[in-house]
């Protein structure tokens, strides 16, 4: 390589000769690479410094995931200096900065573009002490942002501050990621912290402006006392679990204390105030400006989805979940976390939803509904073709691991509080600790989850694309494999190792996933049969039988129990033979399975009783 670099150095002015050398050492578009190198050297006053750095430039580019992109971006970055010599002088005095820059330039075009905007300022920032070695705490992020905000900061200025902050943080986090300085858990927590602090600052500034305009929202409690209302932003999904990826939406819901009141000016009711505030926060974070967005905001997990109010009071949430809450909403709330605003109000929400999310009985219907959700995803994938490798939604992908965890948490979380854990990796460990899965299954699922999430990250950092599909083009797949951390070996190339591991872990996940739903499905049928025998026997008081019927979603379990007794004993003054009673006791569990699997168990049982009664 030394000999080749010497020849490259001697021919920097001849693009044609350079091109042949660049092709020989590993650049795919050798002419483009030759032009990049020629332009880097062109017009320099101090040729000696560039010549000393040339070996590092080429070696670092070739070791990066995408050598062509790395060299092209380095040339664009240097061109952003008024005096290009200053860049190379700085790089020669700070030995670590060139490898960092080139690694980023060969990993993410999106983040490279941000560095081009202010090359000197960003380069000085990258050389900051301990920038990459340690995680940055949420408190440190908040302190930094609050130092940039004043009482006069406008919403447009706030938008710019938050967008620049997010991009800088993503550069720092990405470098920690590709250098292996942070675990998956640390990386996703830092990305989630960025979302948390941006929402907190957006709330602070937007609420300040709202109070100036409308006064403070006040409410009257049950004792007639007046208090100031509180407000909380609830993070859901990966945001709630502190598991955001580089291109995640943030799923959020807005919560306030009470609708029973108005602002001190009398201009708005509490509900109107907090809907306006929520709209402002969503716009500050989610609007696309010349500098992009902070995060895409998704508020569709709120009650009634897009048809529902953007912000709801604590009592409104409670009434909704008690009356109309669905299984998918229970699953969504497993990861709910207060991320901005009043944490005490957020905790009150979490306490309020516990009986809805975690049932005291074994709720096998949740298993079937979760399996149904994944079946719909599978059907969509079938339309696209099974050859597509979607690390999130595909067979054995991230979503199957998440559904696996959610199903067990919904099934057993009511009786075992220890497994009520938002974060996927920690939840898997707790499920193993309590014996709901084996430690072998935990190991496989944890390793699969970490690999799939890393692949997902490395797909997304290139251009901040919201995609989860592995490329089929060999060059793109090789580049992805190298970003993930694979290297070409004697026996296997990087992309072959990636495909081998992907196939092994997704097949392993699919087997564990299928085994769970098959086993729990059979267990559910056994549970139904067992409950049917108990209900129809003379062993329970009515109230106890009603409790069992309630868990199968009978709307009127008392009437359901009376129908069961009518089926067993017949109408008043009728007489059943011992043999007919025995036959009924034997076949009732089969009826019960069909009734409880129907969309309306009350209607099905009522019709069965009416049919048999009419037949005498």
Residue 525 pLDDT: 53
Q: Looking at residue 587, what is its pLDDT?
A: 81
Residue among 380, 424, 377 nearest 245 (CA) = 424
Mean pLDDT of 503-529: 75
The larger pLDDT score, comparing residue 414 to residue 201, is at 201
Range of lowest pLDDT (129-133, 257-261, 447-451, 493-497) = 129-133
- For the whole prediction, is pTM greater than 0.85? no
More confident position, 450 or 363: 450
Are the C-beta atoms of residues 410 and 516 closer than 8 Å to each other?
A: no
Question: Among 37-41, 208-212, 309-313, where is mean pLDDT lowest?
Answer: 37-41
Q: Per-residue pLDDT averaged across 230-241, rounded? A: 97
Burial (CB < 10 A; 0-12, 13-18, 19+), residue 92, is: middle
Question: What pLDDT, on the 0 to 100 scale, is given for residue 363?
Answer: 67
What is the separation, in whole angstroms, between the first and last Cα of the chain? Answer: 96
In angstroms, the CA 136 to CA 414 distance is: 35
3-state DSSP assignment of residue 299: coil
Percentage of the chain beyond pLDDT 90 is: 55
The secondary structure of 161-182 as a DSSP string is HHHHHHHHHHHHHHHHHHTT-S
Asked if residue 539 has pLDDT above 60, the reply is no
Closest CA to 74 of 104, 44, 49, 96: 104
Q: Is the pLDDT of residue 129 over 90?
A: no
Q: How confident is the model at residue 219 (pLDDT cuts 50, 70, 90)?
A: very high
Asked whether the predicted pLDDT for residue 577 surpasses 90, the reply is no
Query: Percentage of the chain with pLDDT > 70?
Result: 91
pLDDT value of residue 515: 84
For the chain, give the longest Cα–Cα distance. Answer: 112
Q: Which of 29-33, 134-138, 459-463 has the lowest mean pLDDT?
A: 459-463
Which are the contacts of 493, defined by CB distance < 8 A and separation ≥ 6?
A: 478
pLDDT at position 588 is: 79
Is the model more confident about 157 or about 466? 157
Question: Mean pLDDT lowest for which of 156-165, 206-215, 427-436, 545-554?
Answer: 545-554
Whole-number pLDDT of residue 445: 97
Cβ atoms of 50 and 41 closer than 8 Å: yes
CB 337, CB 249: distance < 8 Å? no
pLDDT of amino acid 281: 98
- Give the tens place of pLDDT for each residue, 551-566: 788 888 888 888 888 8
43-65 pLDDT per residue, tens: 888 888 888 899 999 999 999 99
| pLDDT band (50, 70, 90) for residue 284 | very high
d(C-alpha 296, C-alpha 283), whole Å: 10
Q: How far is CA 157 from the centre of its chain?
A: 29
Residues of the chain with CATH 3.30.460.10: 138-356
Architecture of domain 138-356: 2-Layer Sandwich (3.30)
Could you give the 3-state DSSP secondary structure of residue 436?
Answer: coil
For residue 182, what are its two tokens? 């942070």
Quote the Cα angle for 565-568-570, to 5°.
85
- For residue 526, the model assigns a pLDDT of 53
> In the prediction, which pLDDT does 380 show?
57
How far is the C-alpha of 414 from the C-alpha of 418, rounded, in Å? 10
At residue 211, the pLDDT reads 97
**What's the pLDDT at 124?**
84
pLDDT interval class at 492 (50, 70, 90): confident
In this prediction, residue 613 has a pLDDT band, given cuts at 50, 70 and 90, of: confident
CA-CA distance, 551 to 361, in Å (whole number)? 7
Alpha-helical (H) ranges within 224-313 are 237-240, 270-286
Q: Comparing 21-25, 391-395, 524-528, which segment has the lowest mean pLDDT?
A: 524-528
17 band by pLDDT with thresholds 50, 70 and 90: confident
- Which pLDDT value is given to residue 340? 98
Residue 573: per-residue pLDDT = 53
Residues of the chain with CATH 1.20.120.330: 366-523
Which of the two residues, 306 and 427, has the higher pLDDT score?
427
Q: Are 369 and 331 in contact (CB under 8 A)?
A: no
Q: Which residues of 312-345 are buried (b: 16+ CB within 10 A; e: fewer)?
A: bbbebbbebbeeebebebbbbbbbbbbbbbbeeb
Q: What pLDDT was estimated at residue 440? A: 96
Please tell me which residue, 26 or 614, carries the higher pLDDT value: 26
In this structure, what DSSP letter does residue 450 have? H
Where does 366-523 sit in CATH, by number? 1.20.120.330
Residue 537 has pLDDT above 70, yes or no: no
How far, in Å, CA of 387 to CA of 225, rounded?
Answer: 64
- Residues facing residue 232 across a β-bridge: 255, 341
pLDDT reported for residue 606:
87
């Amino acid at each position: 390589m030394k000999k080749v670099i010497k020849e490259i150095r001697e021919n920097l002015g001849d693009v044609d000769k350079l091109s042949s050398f660049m092709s020989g050492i590993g650049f795919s578009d050798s002419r483009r690479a030759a032009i990049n190198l020629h332009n880097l050297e062109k017009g320099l006053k101090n040729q000696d410094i560039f010549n000393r750095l040339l070996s590092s430039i080429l070696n670092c580019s070739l070791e990066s995931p995408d050598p062509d992109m790395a060299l092209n971006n380095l040339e664009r970055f240097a061109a952003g200096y008024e005096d290009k010599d200053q860049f190379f002088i700085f790089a020669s005095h700070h030995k670590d900065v060139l490898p960092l820059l080139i690694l980023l330039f060969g990993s993410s075009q999106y983040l490279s573009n941000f560095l081009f905007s202010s090359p000197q300022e960003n380069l000085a920032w990258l050389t900051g002490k301990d920038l990459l070695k340690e995680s940055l705490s949420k408190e440190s992020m908040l302190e930094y942002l609050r130092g940039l905000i004043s009482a006069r900061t406008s919403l447009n200025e706030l938008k710019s501050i938050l967008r620049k902050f997010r991009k800088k943080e993503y550069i720092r986090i990405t470098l920690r990621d590709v250098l292996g300085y942070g675990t998956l858990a640390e990386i996703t927590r830092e990305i989630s912290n960025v979302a948390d602090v941006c929402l907190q600052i957006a709330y602070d500034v937007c609420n300040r402006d709202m109070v100036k305009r409308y006064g403070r929202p006040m409410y009257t409690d049950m004792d007639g006392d007046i208090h100031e209302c509180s407000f909380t932003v609830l993070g859901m999904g990966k945001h709630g679990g502190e598991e955001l990826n580089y291109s995640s939406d943030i799923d959020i819901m807005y919560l306030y204390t009470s609708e029973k009141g108005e602002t001190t000016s009398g201009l708005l009711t509490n509900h109107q105030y907090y809907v306006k505030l929520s709209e402002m926060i969503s716009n500050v974070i989610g609007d696309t400006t010349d500098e992009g967005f902070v995060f895409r905001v998704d508020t569709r997990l709120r009650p009634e989805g897009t048809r529902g109010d953007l912000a709801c009071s604590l009592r409104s949430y409670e009434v909704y979940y008690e009356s109309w809450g669905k299984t998918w909403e229970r699953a969504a709330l497993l990861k709910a976390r207060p991320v901005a605003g009043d944490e005490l109000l957020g905790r009150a929400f979490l306490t309020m939803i516990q009986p809805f999310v975690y049932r005291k009985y074994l709720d096998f219907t949740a298993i079937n509904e979760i399996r149904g959700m994944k079946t719909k995803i599978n059907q969509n994938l079938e339309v696209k073709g099974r050859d597509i490798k979607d690390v999130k939604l595909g067979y054995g992908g991230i979503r199957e691991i998440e559904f696996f965890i959610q199903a067990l948490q919904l099934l057993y979380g009511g009786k075992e509080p220890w497994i009520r854990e938002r974060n996927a990796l920690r939840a898997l460990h707790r499920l193993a600790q309590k014996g709901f899965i084996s430690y072998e299954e935990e190991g496989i699922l944890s390793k699969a989850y970490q690999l799939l999430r890393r692949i997902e990250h490395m797909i997304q950092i290139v251009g901040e694309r919201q995609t989860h599909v592995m490329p089929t083009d060999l060059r793109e797949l090789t580049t992805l494999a190298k970003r993930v951390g694979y290297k070409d070996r004697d026996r296997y190339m990087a992309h072959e190792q990636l495909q081998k591991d992907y196939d092994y872990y997704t097949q392993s996940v699919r087997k564990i996933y299928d085994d769970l739903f098959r086993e729990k499905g059979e267990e559910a049928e056994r549970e139904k049969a067992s409950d049917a025998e108990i209900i129809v026997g003379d062993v329970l008081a009515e109230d106890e039988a009603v409790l069992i019927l309630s868990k199968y979603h009978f709307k009127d379990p008392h009437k359901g129990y009376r129908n069961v007794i009518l089926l067993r004993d017949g109408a008043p003054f009728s007489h059943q033979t011992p043999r007919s009673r025995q036959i009924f006791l034997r076949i009732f569990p089969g009826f019960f399975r069909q009734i409880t699997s129907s969309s309306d168990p009350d209607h099905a049982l009522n019709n069965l009783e009416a049919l048999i009664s009419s037949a005498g």
